[in-house]
Each structure stands twice: as structure tokens, then as C-alpha cells.
Structure 1
Amino acid sequence: MGILKELQNRILIADGAMGTLLYSFGVDYCFEELNLLQPDRITKIHEAYIEAGAEVIQTNTYGANYLKLARYGLEDQVKDINAAAIKIAKKAANGKAYVLGTLGGIRSIKKSAATIEEIKRSFREQLYTFLLEGVDGLLLETFYDLDELKTVLQIARKETELPIIAQVSIHEVAVLQDGTPLADALKQLEDLGADVVGLNCRLGPHHITKALEEVPLPERAFLSAYPNASLPDYIDGRLIYESDAEYFGECAVNLRNQGVRLIGGCCGTTPRHIKAVREKIQGLAPITYKEVKVKQTEPTVTVLSKRNKPHLHEIVAKERSVIVELDTPKTLNTTSFLEGAKALKEAGIDALTMADNSLASPRICNMAMAAIVKNELGIRPLVHITCRDRNLIGLQSHLMGLDALGIDQVLAVTGDPTKIGDFPGATSVYDLSSFELISLIKQLNEGITFSGKPLQKKTSFSVAAAFNPNVRHLDKAIKRLEKKIKHGADYFISQPIFDEKKFLEVYEHTKHLSKPIYIGIMPIVSSQNAEFLHNEVPGIKLTDEIREKMARCGSDREKAKMEGIAIAKSLIDAAFDLFNGIYLITPFMRYDMTVKLVQYIHQKCANRVQERKITN
């Protein structure tokens, strides 16, 4: 008869998780490879679900695409693994159940996991195997990224008339991670040709039911739901789902009451759960009418009224601006730091920038010091945020905290690897790339959390991005800047430059950009410092002339200091007419050096004003 014909008149029961059972058996490697290595084990799982009451089963191919199989060195076996999975499922079904070819989402919250073009190529390879081997329909499941799902759905709809089930995964009830309401997302999927639209994974049956309360019955398609068994617990290094099968079956009735006609299970579900669904659903007719529950939410408001001065990117786009980096202390003695901050404020800086545990060494939290200099000294802080030390939870919490403190200037960076710091064995998180972090900060500016939930306020962050001009191929570095602009960067802060000729080269390569740049300059304190920077710090090279000048200072610290300041002044002169923004990096808490450079910049500005008056 066909899946769609049957769904017109009754509710179909699908299977549950494949990975959960394999995981419980001690399998902790590529589940999809078992289609080739242990086909009997996969067959028995399919048969167990059919015996439990599943009328629709899915192939063991969720991660059987080029990109995911490449993690195991199996990228050349895409066709073999998928073809074997289809044969196994069809044999197990033996005419007693429909077989869906499963294609899983690749991106989660990280768009950098794969480009759309990579996803298209990977998806097509898997899709064509399904079409060649013959399945009863396609199941597109666990898609957190709506754009990814819409892309692959359009490809599939163009290639086949087979039934297509398209399912999104959400972090928050009734909203996708980009803020799209669930009802709108499912309508878009229906309009693109999906025959069944719904949800799977991430949430248990209670929250998926709550999410569907806001979803009307589709005009043409049907609704599906494959909830997780429950929220997972973490015990002895393993994720454990402890949901009662009876409860899961009772929840299936609630799903039916929301209009769901295809009910299965995802993570944590077993044949026991599916058997419970069958027992509770058997004999119930699908509903043909439902009243949609519209959730009332508080209106989103802006926080622009909190700002009493322009953002840094607005300032530097129009006039001269100087910001200074001063690292927070490695000890709890904050005296020198606060003295330096005060001296720099008196010198006339526009902002004090504070790195986020630079060189992967722990320092006093820059959020804490930013709050102190803002509230006690009246200095605008610019806080660096790395992807290294915090996962998604920590990053969002950190940013919300900054907003609560009234700190709205941030620099999004990847962060130095832990291997170079005080704790080389520490774990680097890197849930996000700097590109993704920029995008998500801008999402907070729209009043939407990382998971898509309304913030009930909009943040007002000005987001800087890092720029390393000290590379062999500057064109490639500029491409990265262009990409960061697309992700939402408001301006750039560069690594220090130690070659006067380099400023003009950078200017010529970046003058087409729509966003301003603070160009980095750092005074050198000694010949040893110069040699370390030149030979050991990635991305920094000094000219032979500068190294020779510092070498001539020998061990005379005062002479080296004065030479370092003179070199920095010369670099400022070279950059002055090319860039409005100057970013001074304070070496080793030697803020007296950066104070002199700030004063030098302001004096140059005053001299230029005087020259114009004389000329006019």
C-alpha cells in the first residue's frame, strides 16, 4: 500500500534507537561499519523492533556519509556500508515492515563542521545508494541546522518521488537554535516537498509533546515524532537513559493527541519502549483536528538605551582612536595592574583591552578586572573571549554576565593552545571556531540564545575579530577577514607589526574592507625579548634592522627601553596616516612604555590639527 497511504488512515509505529543497543553491548566505535563486520547483530536488532511492534524501521546508516565515515578512515566505503545496511534491513523486514533509508544531519550548532557544498556532495553519494538499492522512503533525521536540512531535502525531492520524512532537532521547546519557531520550520519543510515533518532526538517525550502543542496539523504532510527515552544521566563515563518503557508508551498517546501519525524513538529507546507504544496506540485513530496552543512570550526589548557613548568600531571609523592591552595579573596582587590602568586612562586611551588567559596561562578573570576598571576607574574595558576555555554553556553564560555588568566591547578569538601554557595537559574545548563565536554573539544581539530561546532582551555587543598580517600569503589572511565580516565582525584588531613597509602593504590589501582596523604595535624591552618574538612566537617576525638596534643595547635595560620606545614611535609614524586605530600591546606590565606611546600619538594628533590651522 505504501507508507503515505497508510498514514492517511492510521498511526504507524516506527522503531527505536540502533546506537543505544549497540552501545549497551559494548560497541564504542563506528556503528555503521558493523553492517559489513557483524551484519547478524544488526539484523537481530531490526527483528527485535519488528517483533515489538515496529511497522517502520530505519537502516543503520545515520552516520554512513563521507564526512562522518572519514573520522574512522572509512570514507571510501560509503557505498558498501550503505548498500549492506539496506540489504540487512530489507531481509529483516521481510515484508512485515517498511524500510526507511536514514540520512543524518552533519552540522549541530557548529556550522564549521562542514560547508554546504561538502554536505551536498556527501549527501548525494549516500542518497544515490539508497535509490539504487531500493528503500520504501527516506528519513532525514537529527538536523539542528535548518538550512542544512532544507538543502538536502530539495536535493532528495528533485531526485525521487519516494516518501520523505524530514525531522529537525531542537534544544528548546518549540524553537530551533537559530530562533525559527518550530511551526514555521515544519511549514517550510512541507512547502519544500517533505511528506512527513517532525522532531527527533535531543528532547524526551514530555518536551517534544510540549513543542508540538504550538504546531498546527500540516495542510498536506503528516507529523512524526521520535523522542529520546528521557534526559540522560552520566554514570561512570557513560550516558545512561533510565526512562520507564510504560511511561514512554503513555507519552505516545499524548503525541497522538498532538496529531502525530508516525511515532518512533531515538536515543535511549529499546524494543521495550516500542512495545509499550504499540500497546498504548493500538486501536487509536489519528486525530484530524487540533487547537493550537499559542504560547505568550514577553516582548523582546533592546538595551541600546544603556549605551552612553559610541562603540569602538563607530569611533575608529570616523576619528583617531587608541586602545591598549594590559594583561590581567597571574597572581592576586592587582596593585601594578590598577596603577597601570589608571596611568593609561590619564594618558587618554579609548579602551583597555584584556586578554583571556593569554598564552594559555591562568590569570585573574578578565571579566572581573573589566568590572573593576569600569566601575572604579571609569575605563571602558574591551574583553577578549577565547573558544579554548569554555564550552557553549560557559560561553553563553560568560557573555550574559558581561552584558549584566554593562560591558559591551568584546574580541572573539580562538585562543592559544593549552600545550604552550602552564598546564600543557589541560583540555582545550574549542566547541566553536572564532567565526561561529562571532555569529552567536550577534545572535545574542538579536535577543536569541545559542539554543534559539528568546533572551527577553537584546545585548548590544560590539564584536572585534583578530587579524594576523604577519603571514606569508596576506591574500589568504584577508579572505579570513572577509569571512569574519560575513559572520558579523564589526572591526579588527591586528597582531603587532614590526616592519614599517608592512603597514602600507596591509593598508593596500584591506582598504576595500567595510570594517575598520586597529593596527597592532608593541614596544620591545630587550634584545632577548626581540629574539624570542622573532624566533619563537608564531606569526611574528622582526626586521634585521630592529634586531640589530636592540642587540646594540646589550644588557643596558634603560637604553633598551628607550630604543624600544623609539622603534615603536617610528612604527606609529609609518601607520599613522594609514589607520585611524592604533592598538598598543603592553609588554610585561611595562605600562610606562605604552603611556609614553599614547602621549606620542595624541601629540601627533595635536600637531596635525595645528598644521591644518596654519595651512588654512
Structure 2
Amino acid sequence: MGQSILDVLKERILIGDGAMGTLLYSYGIDRCFEELNVSQSEAVRHVHQAYINAGADVIQTNSYGANRIKLARYGLEHEVARFNRASVQLAKQAAKPETFVLGTIGGIRGFQKQSVELDTIRASFREQADALLSEGIDALLLETYYDFDELRDVLQIARTMTDLPIITHVSMQEPGVLQNGMPVAEALEGLEAQGADVVGTNCRLGPFHMIEALRGIPLPKKAFLSAYPNSSLPDYRDGKLHYENEPEYFKKYAVEFRNEGVRLLGGCCGTTPVQIKAFKEGISALEPLETKVVTVHPEVVHVSEAAEPPESALYQKSVNGRSVFVEFDTPRHLNTDHFFRGVQALEAAGADAITMADNSLASPRISNAAIGKLIKDRYHMPPLVHLTCRDRNLIGLQSHLLGLDVLGLHDLLVITGDPTKIGDFPGATSVYDVSSMELIKLIKQFNRGISYSGKSLKKPTHFRVAAAFNPNVRNLDRAVQRLKRKIECGADYFISQPVFDKERIIAISEATRGVSAPIYIGIMPLTSARNAEFLHNEVPGIRLPDDVRAKMAATSGKEEARQMSFAICRELIDTAMAHFRGIYLITPMGHYSMSVDLVKYIKKKEREYAALENSENILL
């Protein structure tokens, strides 16, 4: 081929192909599509030929997910080179002399953002790009990137690997804005400055909403603009995804895409040769757009990244003084009398906050948000509401968080959550759309006024976020490294799992010496020897020293066990208060009187520490 794809784009609009996966899916194939490059090569070649016959000037290799990370889901991570090389060979076999072949590499961090480190993504990208480039493609296509940092990183790598044209596509969940709140126009400008030859968007949005987004995008200074919309919003029929396919609709929108400056126009999810033929017919008599008037999309609203939430009373206590938080879980039934008597008793004892788990041990309880609102309105203690990743998908999480903000419940403890199989409903689904770190990031994004999809919330939320810390592990340094990663994600302070060993508390203090975020040491009274053995052997994240279990085993009767438990807790509290400024009491099985007595003990110790500190100041 004489001319490069960039030479041709200077002269006319090119039509790309549509969805490879949609056609393969329609053939009854529902497995790793990239593996078909070697096992069912004729089916892949047939898809390429169908799009070329429909009028596609540009086709993509069947390599979107042919990277080590995604292939590992099928146990095929060692086939990266073979699958990618085969994808190029098949595309070139189907191509006409004037057809351009793009080597396609898809984004890793997709709609449900996974915890994949950028270093891992970079290594995976190099391996895949090297295989595609070795077979003589006409250009690289980097498509379906929801995470702008990921796309920016891999574009930089690609630019060092080849002088071939590079096409970069971001993906939007909301028209005009990326998931991180960045206006898409700003993102495309940045990609062009970094060396992309064609910049644009693909996937997620159909023609209508993609046009809405493109109205806010100026013509690139040197690069060309591209768009690969979905066919439509998918429907779910008889267990399969179904897309509407109206060719006249696409023929009409081809003109609108041209009027927004698009020079490379193809299709993504749901598109078939029918839509590609309609696109071809729609732009057949049109010249490329040379100038354009930009319309700012109304949803692109900037909120300052520096905006900080008003300081909560609870967070003030964690930073500026000694305090004790008490975990007191809501009931599993609707008789709340005992619970609110406990809240009153804890308030009278001097507890600084009441915290409530989010269906601990995967067993349903009264909503901690509902009870938290009642505590906020009736008592003088702020509630700390736990939030797990287990029970709500991304839709439910965002809705729940916005509701918490409206209710004025701004103090959260974010945790992963116990798997459902250990709870009352072992057949229930554990969602885990996000990890605890990703949820912390999401909440801090809300504090900037930006939703998960990147859309403006119109004003910021006001959350302070505590995170869980499990020091009951063999490698404490590794646990501290995880704690530091949570700080990078936005965690404001930490609450530990219950610790039953004084030496472990001292070790935690040493290991976290460089950590500025406040840490609350978890202390949990034991109710009996059986309770001690249960916690040690069956509850994740809790380990009891042999001497503690032996002391509880030596007790006889409830009162003796209670007194021994208090003696153990007092020693632990004394050690914790000598090294940390916060205690997190965990009320065992609703026995709030045990927590009340320990709160009184802590408050007494606080007064002693305060008197000592005052006397030292006087001497100074």
C-alpha cells in the first residue's frame, strides 16, 4: 500500500469496521474470542470479510483482549504472542489492497475498574504490542480506555516502540466527561500532545449521546478525530444481549458525525455490517469538515480537586485528642429497645462515637444508615457508619452514598465485607464490584463533586473515611504497606481488627512509626472460653495468643469469665494508650454493659494522661 492511513485521512473520511465480538456471539460462540484466531480462524476471517464487503476501509485485528492479564482468566496467558500474530495474519488475509489493518489493544481497567497495578499493565502492553507490530500492521489502535492514566501510560510506551500511526480512544460513561471527571475535550488534547495521530472515543454510548459529547470537542490541531459508537443501549432477552439495528438511523447519524469533524467512523458493541454499510452510504458524498463551532456540554462542570469537606467532630477527635469509639451493631430484629438503652448508657459513660457494622459476618441487620440517623438526631455522639463492598453493586453504592450525605452521615468506615457464604444466607450473591481501596477512591471522588461515571454531582459530598487495618498477620510489614496504599487512595484514619496481645500492640506502634494518619487499636472483650476459641478458630482476621485462651479456659462461671476478660482488656488498653491516641471497643454479642465499663476505664486513663501532660507542660 502506497499511502499511509494518515495521508488518506487528510483527503477523505474513512469507515472503520464494527464489533467483532457481536458477530461471533451471534454465531453462537461465547468464550475467549481471541483464542478463535487459532481454533476457528475461518469464523474470524469471515467477520473481517463481512465488514469489508459492507464498505469498511479500516479493519481491526481480533486482539482486543489478547493480553496476558485478560487471557489468564481462561488459563491462556502464555498464548499472547501466538494469538496476536494470528490476529494480524487473519486480518491481512481478508483485507483488500486498499484496506488498512489496525492492531487493536484494549484497555485493562474497564467499566468495573479492577485493582491492576500500572506496572503490570505496562508489561502486558509491551508484550502484546510487540507481537502485533512484528506482523506488519498499518497502525495501532488503543481503544476502550476508561482510565485516562492507563491510556496515557501505554501511549507513551507505544510511541517509543513504533513510528506507525497511533489511534487512541477514550470511553465515556456520561457524554462529554471521563470517569475521573476530566472533560473529554481536555483528554483528547492531552493525547494529541503526547503523540497520538488520531484521537477519539468508542464504546458505551450510542450515536445520539456520542454526538452530544463530540459537540464539545474542537478539531484537533494536528491529529484527526475518530468515533466508534455502540449500536444502541442493549436489551436482555432470553438470557442474551440484544441490540437494535436500524440502518436508516445510522445513515442519518453518519452525516452528524461528519459535521462534528469525525474522519474515522466505525462501530463498537452491537454494530454489524448493516450499520457499517449505512455509515458508508451516509458519508459517501461528503467532504471532511475543515472548521467547527464548539458547543460546551452542559454536564461538564468543574469542581475543585482541592475542595476539602468540613471537619467532622468525629474526625477532629481522631486527630486532636484521645478518644474511644464503640462498635455496637444494630439488631437483627425490629425490637430496638435494648439497642437504644445501650446507646444511652455508652453516651453517659463518655463514648466519643458509636460505630455500626454493615451486616457483619454477612448476616442481615437493621440498616446502619437508618439507625445512624436516629443516633445523630437523638444523642450527642456522632455515628460512624460502616460500608462494605459486598452487598451493593456500583449503582447501589453511589445511591447509598448520596443518601448518606443527604442524611448528614459523613463519617464512614470502608471495608471489604465478609463473604456471604459465612452468613445467614449462604446462597446470596457477594457483589464486590469494587475493592475497599477503589471504594475509598470513589468516595473521595464524590468529595470533588464527581460521580463514578464522571458526571457532575452539582456539589461535593462531605465524607471522612476510616479504613480497616488487620495487624493480626504473620507479615506485619506487608499489612502496613497495604495501610499506606489505602492512605494513597484517600483514607483519613484507621481502625484495627481486635488485638489480644500486648507485644503485638507495641510491634504495631513500631511498624507504623512513619504513618501520620491516626490509628485506633481494636479491643474486644471476651465473654467466655468458648467465645475465645470461636473467635480464634472461626472468625477471619482475629487471632488470640495461647496465654489469653488459657486464662479464659481457666475461669469458672460467667462472672469469673467477665472479670478475667476485663483484666485482659485493661492490660491491652494500658499498652494501647501508651502508644496510640485512639481505642476502638468492639461490643461482644450486644453485651453493651461490658463496653460501658471499659469506656469508663478509658476515660479515667484519659484524665490521668491529661493531668500528666499538663504537669509536664508546666515544668517546661
- TM normalised by structure 2 equals 0.96
In structure 1, distance between residues paired with 2:303 and 2:601: 45
In structure 1, distance between residues paired with 2:231 and 2:175: 16
In structure 1, distance between residues paired with 2:510 and 2:111: 36
Tell me how far 1:317 sits from its aligned partner: 2.2
Q: Which residue in the other structure is 1:175 paired with?
A: 177
Tell me how far 1:173 sits from its aligned partner: 0.8
**CA distance 1:180–1:614, shift in 2 (3 Å):** closer
Q: Which residue in the other structure is 2:362 paired with?
A: 360
Structure 1 portions without partners, runs of 5+: none
**2:436 equivalent among 434, 437, 441:** 434
**2:221 equivalent among 198, 201, 219:** 219
**CA distance 1:295–1:80, shift in 2 (3 Å):** closer
In structure 1, distance between residues paired with 2:256 and 2:30: 34
**In the TM superposition, what whole-angstrom CA distance separates every residue of 1:74-107 from its partner, at most 9, and x where no partner exists?**
1111111111111111010131411111111111
CA contact (8 A) 2:245 2:274 kept: no
CA contact (8 A) 1:106 1:113 kept: no
In structure 2, distance between residues paired with 1:148 and 1:373: 43
Q: Which residue in the other structure is 1:539 paired with?
A: 541
Q: How does 1:95-114 map to 2 (within 5 A)?
A: 95-109=97-111, 112-114=114-116
**CA distance 1:613–1:250, shift in 2 (3 Å):** closer
Q: Which residue in the other structure is 2:86 paired with?
A: 84
CA contact (8 A) 2:313 2:382 kept: no
**CA distance 1:166–1:510, shift in 2 (3 Å):** same
- Residue identity matched to 1:421: G
**CA distance 1:109–1:517, shift in 2 (3 Å):** farther
Tell me how far 1:313 sits from its aligned partner: 3.5
Q: Which residue in the other structure is 2:293 paired with?
A: 291
In structure 2, distance between residues paired with 1:29 and 1:612: 67
**In the TM superposition, what whole-angstrom CA distance separates every residue of 1:215-255 from its partner, at most 9, and x where no partner exists?**
00000000000000001112222221113122122112111
- Residue identity matched to 1:235: R
- Residue identity matched to 1:546: V
- Residue identity matched to 2:93: K
In structure 2, distance between residues paired with 1:545 and 1:335: 37
**CA distance 1:305–1:374, shift in 2 (3 Å):** farther
**CA distance 1:324–1:225, shift in 2 (3 Å):** same
Q: Which residue in the other structure is 1:585 paired with?
A: 586
Structure 2 portions without partners, runs of 5+: none
Q: How does 1:184-333 map to 2 (within 5 A)?
A: 184-296=186-298, 300=303, 310-333=312-335
Tell me how far 1:126 sits from its aligned partner: 1.2
In structure 2, distance between residues paired with 1:341 and 1:299: 42
Q: Which residue in the other structure is 1:563 paired with?
A: 564
In structure 2, distance between residues paired with 1:124 and 1:302: 33
**CA distance 1:306–1:118, shift in 2 (3 Å):** closer
In structure 1, distance between residues paired with 2:124 and 2:174: 29
Q: Which residue in the other structure is 1:505 paired with?
A: 507
In structure 2, distance between residues paired with 1:151 and 1:612: 51
Give the share of equivalent positions with the same residue, in percent: 57
In structure 1, distance between residues paired with 2:602 and 2:313: 21
Tell me how far 1:48 sits from its aligned partner: 0.8
CA contact (8 A) 2:185 2:216 kept: yes
In structure 1, distance between residues paired with 2:430 and 2:110: 19
In structure 2, distance between residues paired with 1:259 and 1:423: 54
Q: Which residue in the other structure is 1:51 paired with?
A: 53
In structure 1, distance between residues paired with 2:204 and 2:540: 40
In structure 1, distance between residues paired with 2:304 and 2:43: 55
In structure 2, distance between residues paired with 1:315 and 1:218: 51
**1:40 equivalent among 27, 39, 42:** 42
**CA distance 1:301–1:62, shift in 2 (3 Å):** closer
In structure 1, distance between residues paired with 2:86 and 2:614: 82
**CA distance 1:436–1:614, shift in 2 (3 Å):** closer
Tell me how far 1:168 sits from its aligned partner: 0.5
Q: Which residue in the other structure is 1:599 paired with?
A: 600
In structure 1, distance between residues paired with 2:488 and 2:460: 20
In structure 1, distance between residues paired with 2:430 and 2:394: 13
Tell me how far 1:611 sits from its aligned partner: 4.8
In structure 1, distance between residues paired with 2:613 and 2:99: 85
Q: Which moved more, 1:94-103 or 1:5-14?
A: 94-103
In structure 1, distance between residues paired with 2:573 and 2:61: 64
Tell me how far 1:454 sits from its aligned partner: 1.1
In structure 2, distance between residues paired with 1:90 and 1:14: 15
CA contact (8 A) 1:100 1:137 kept: yes
In structure 1, distance between residues paired with 2:309 and 2:574: 37
Q: How does 1:371-520 map to 2 (within 5 A)?
A: 371-520=373-522
Tell me how far 1:374 sits from its aligned partner: 1.0
CA contact (8 A) 1:302 1:457 kept: no
- TM normalised by structure 1 equals 0.97
In structure 2, distance between residues paired with 1:411 and 1:525: 25
**CA distance 1:64–1:306, shift in 2 (3 Å):** closer
**1:342 equivalent among 338, 341, 344:** 344
CA contact (8 A) 1:402 1:408 kept: yes
Tell me how far 1:109 sits from its aligned partner: 4.8
- Residue identity matched to 2:457: L
In structure 2, distance between residues paired with 1:205 and 1:246: 12
**CA distance 1:306–1:189, shift in 2 (3 Å):** closer
CA contact (8 A) 2:312 2:410 kept: no
SS of residue in 1 equivalent to 2:583: strand
In structure 2, distance between residues paired with 1:172 and 1:437: 20
Q: Which moved more, 1:365-374 or 1:241-250?
A: 241-250
In structure 2, distance between residues paired with 1:305 and 1:197: 34
SS of residue in 2 equivalent to 1:352: strand
**CA distance 1:65–1:529, shift in 2 (3 Å):** same
SS of residue in 2 equivalent to 1:317: helix
In structure 1, distance between residues paired with 2:215 and 2:115: 32
Tell me how far 1:559 sits from its aligned partner: 2.2
In structure 2, distance between residues paired with 1:582 and 1:238: 52
SS of residue in 1 equivalent to 2:414: strand
**In the TM superposition, what whole-angstrom CA distance separates every residue of 1:237-276 from its partner, at most 9, and x where no partner exists?**
2221113122122112111110000000000000000111
**CA distance 1:340–1:435, shift in 2 (3 Å):** same
Q: Which residue in the other structure is 1:72 paired with?
A: 74
Q: Which residue in the other structure is 1:138 paired with?
A: 140
**In the TM superposition, what whole-angstrom CA distance separates every residue of 1:379-419 from its partner, at most 9, and x where no partner exists?**
31101111111111111111111000001100111111111
CA contact (8 A) 2:468 2:494 kept: yes
CA contact (8 A) 1:302 1:458 kept: no
Tell me how far 1:599 sits from its aligned partner: 0.7
Q: How does 1:9-28 map to 2 (within 5 A)?
A: 9-28=11-30
In structure 1, distance between residues paired with 2:7 and 2:217: 23
In structure 1, distance between residues paired with 2:308 and 2:545: 47
CA contact (8 A) 2:447 2:461 kept: yes
Q: Which residue in the other structure is 1:574 paired with?
A: 575
In structure 1, distance between residues paired with 2:163 and 2:558: 78
In structure 2, distance between residues paired with 1:264 and 1:299: 31
Q: Which moved more, 1:365-374 or 1:537-546?
A: 537-546
**1:5 equivalent among 4, 7, 18:** 7
